[in-house]
Amino acid sequence: MKVLFFGLISLFVIFLPDSTFAQRSAAEFFEEGNTRAGTGDFNGALQAYSTVISMSPEHAPSFFNRGLAKANLKDFRGAIQDYNRAIELNPKEPLYYQSRGVSKSLQDDFSSAIEDYSKALELNAEDPKIYYNRGVSYAKLKKHRSALTDLDKALSLNPDELAALYARGNCKQDLQEYAGSLADFTRVIELSPKRTGAYAGRGLAKIELGDFQGAVADFTRAIELSPNESEFYEKRGFAKNKLEDFQGAVIDFDKTIQLNAENYQAFYGRGYAKGKLNDTRGAIADLSTSIELKNTYLGDPKKIAYAGKINRETLDALRDQVQHNIKIDNLSADRAEAYFVRGVSKAKVGEVKGAIQDLTTAVELNPTYSTAFFSRAMVRSASGDQMGAVMDFSSSIKLRSDYPEAYYLRGILKNSLGEVNDGCLDLSRAGELGYQQAYKVIGSYCN
């Protein structure tokens, strides 16, 4: 569910012509630009403002309005240039900073946009739209607490602003505050009963809160409003599986797949439902499709394309710098610890296949053996199986959430595989946990 920034078409402000105009015709061109912008003729408006600028090159409102015209023509870079000039000429106008922030946001330059919104708020601390836009930018950067603070402020100034309520509902879901998310989406629905995304958002919150019957009702309403949205059927099918309405779930997953044949979640859900309905062969077929469809973790690991900023050679060098100290543990009756240490030893002398076999035995004997998953990931990565390594690092992290080296190495691997954003977030987490080397890699490969 997409959160939009406030549009700027309505922000064309008719600044009255002043004494800076050299002649009356300039004022007429300015008025023409405003008229054309008001009717949606942004090309015409742009030309009119350009004429004003040629006559009065220090008239800030003309640069600003021309920037708005360019923004509405999706020329955000050009708009930013005009906003820059308007700000040079009049650095005390908050609307200029806000509008430049929006254009930066629409180019995914959220950090710089936040700086502009913050400057706008220094000049006008009571504009809820600025808080909203800065909150959305924080959310885009996954700084959800900061986002929530801004959205709360926006709503304190304008309690029934739909966009801010909707954005805050999504933000609370990201923070796993599902009850609060449900309340926000409910208010959106009260104010705008045909807002499809609000029913879907509330349905997701209800699933997380265990209200599967309520989730079915919300997704049913979302489907009534938007019958070709495959995700709504898939989520309703999931809720029906939870309610043990397996026939109904199959129908929903059938519709999901009809609309989107690559939705592997739907094949998974349908396979589960078919299994419950004793259609074992159908279940196996669907579950196989779920495993195989668009699964980047399948295939020949030797043929992986290193699509990110970190190539294979750099990856190997960074991975091999990690010092993994093995500590002796008490030997259990199943000897998992012995398999683990033998596996690490085999890896050191280049017996990769034997090392993986021993480490696999160790985790089979002890499925909570985080260190063994970590070591197997190291061996798999060194042998070129980066997908398998990512999975093992993930298992290690799931078992031990404060494992900085696992976040660090998973981040490097994801970056090398083209998942740059996720990889950089892992590196950030490693840094938070005290692994300082992560910040060197972030500086080189995440900016």
The CATH code of the domain that includes 249 is: 1.25.40.10
Judgement on whether residues 305 and 291 belong to the same structural domain of the protein: no
Q: Give the number of C-alpha atoms closer than 13 A to the C-alpha of residue 175, restricted to the C-beta side.
A: 19
Burial of residue 436 (number of CB atoms within 10 Å: 0-12, 13-18, 19+):
exposed
The CA-atom distances, in angstroms, between 59 and each of 25, 34, 64, 73, 97 are 14, 15, 9, 22, 17
pLDDT given at position 122 = 97
More confident residue, 168 or 421: 168
Checking if the pLDDT of 2 tops 50, the result is: no
At 195, is the secondary structure helix, strand, or coil?
coil
User: Containing domain of residue 246, as a range?
Assistant: 228-295
CB 246 within 8 A of CB 275: no
pLDDT value for 236: 97
Residues 417, 422, 426, 428: what is their CA dihedral angle, to the nearest 10 degrees?
Answer: 120
Same structural domain for residues 305 and 279?
A: no
- 305 lies in the same domain as 289: no
Question: Is residue 2, in this structure, part of any structural domain at all?
Answer: no
pLDDT at 328: 72
For residue 43, being part of any structural domain is answered with yes
Tell me the pLDDT band of 22, cut-offs 50, 70 and 90. very low
Tell me what the mean pLDDT of segment 98-111 comes to.
95
Residues 354-372 have pLDDT tens digits of: 999 999 999 999 999 999 9
How many domains is the chain partitioned into structurally?
3
pLDDT bin (cut points 50, 70, 90) of residue 17 is: very low
Range with the poorest average pLDDT among 5-19, 263-277, 327-341, 376-390? 5-19
Quick one: average pLDDT of 254-281?
93
What DSSP designation does 328 have?
-
In angstroms, what CA-CA distances link 116 with 59, 93, 135, 137, 149? 21, 12, 13, 11, 17
Decide if pLDDT at 291 tops 60. yes
What is the per-residue pLDDT for 9? 42
How would you label 344-374 residue by residue, b for 16+ Cβ within 10 Å and e otherwise? bebbeeebbeebbebbebbbebbeebbbbbb
Residues 272 and 314 in one domain: no
Among the candidates 295, 323, 338, a domain finishes at 295
**Rounded CA separation 414/307 (Å):** 10
147 within domain boundaries: yes
Q: Is the pLDDT at 179 greater than 70, yes or no?
A: yes
pLDDT of residue 308: 80
Q: What is the pLDDT of residue 447?
A: 66
Hunting for tokens 């924080």 — which residue is that?
138
Give pLDDT, residue 25: 79
In a domain, 155, yes or no: yes
pLDDT at position 16 over 70: no
Arithmetic mean of pLDDT over the chain: 90
- In a shared domain, residues 359 and 432: yes
Distance separating alpha carbons of residues 19 and 37, to the nearest angstrom: 23
The pLDDT of residue 237 is 96
- Say yes or no: 307 and 287 in one domain: no
Q: Please tell me the distance from the alpha carbon of residue 432 to that of residue 292, in angstroms, as a whole number.
A: 35
Q: What is the pLDDT of residues 136-172, one digit of tens each?
A: 999 999 999 999 999 999 999 999 999 999 999 999 9
Residue 301 near residue 386 (C-beta atoms within 8 A)? yes
Return the pLDDT at 316.
Answer: 85
Residue 387 in domain: yes
Q: What is the distance between the alpha carbons of residues 47 and 148, in angstroms, rounded to a whole number?
A: 41
Arithmetic mean of pLDDT, 63-87: 92
Helix axes 94-105, 60-72, angle to 10 degrees: 20
Q: CA 270 to CA 250: how far, in whole Å?
A: 5
Asked if the structure places residue 110 within a domain, the reply is yes
Look at residues 175, 172, 174, 192 and name the one whose alpha carbon lies nearest to residue 184.
172
User: Cβ distance 57 to 70 under 8 Å?
Assistant: no
Q: Kindly state whether residues 360 and 440 are assigned to the same domain.
A: yes
Residue with tokens 């008490």: 330
- In SS3 terms, 374-420 reads as HHHHHHHHHCCCHHHHHHHHHHHHHHCCCCHHHHHHHHHHHHHCCCH
Render pLDDT for 403-418 as a digit per residue (tens, 0 to 9).
999 999 999 999 999 8
* For the chain, counts of helices (H) and of strands (E): 24, 0
Q: Which of 125-134, 217-226, 250-259, 311-320 has the lowest mean pLDDT?
A: 311-320
Q: Looking at mean pLDDT, say which of 34-43, 65-74, 204-213 comes out highest.
A: 204-213
Q: What is the pLDDT of residue 223?
A: 98
| Same domain for 128 and 80 | yes
Q: Is residue 329 part of a domain?
A: yes
Label residue 12 by pLDDT band (50, 70, 90). low
Same domain, 20 and 66: yes
Residue 218 in any domain: the answer is: no
The token duo for 117 is 């919104």
Q: Using the predicted structure, report yes or no on whether residue 3 has a pLDDT greater than 80.
A: no
Domain boundary among 148, 175, 202: 175
pLDDT at 11: 55
Share of the chain above pLDDT 90, in %: 68
What is the structure's pLDDT at 429?
A: 87
- Please say which residue of 265, 295, 325 terminates a domain: 295
Q: What is the pLDDT of residue 302?
A: 61
From CA 70, how far away is CA 63, in angstroms rounded? Answer: 10
Q: Residues 121, 260: one domain?
A: no
Q: How far apart are the first and last CA of the chain?
A: 27
Contacts of 422 by beta carbon, 8 Å cutoff, 6+ apart: 411, 414
State what percent of residues in the chain have pLDDT above 70.
92
State whether 268 and 289 are in the same domain: yes
- Asked if residue 305 and residue 291 are part of one domain, the reply reads no
Supply the angle between the helices 128-140 and 162-174 in degrees, to the nearest 10: 30
Task: Specify the DSSP element, H or E, that contains 207.
Answer: helix 196-208
Instruction: Return the HEC string of 137-165.
Output: HHHHCCCHHHHHHHHHHHHHHCCCCHHHH
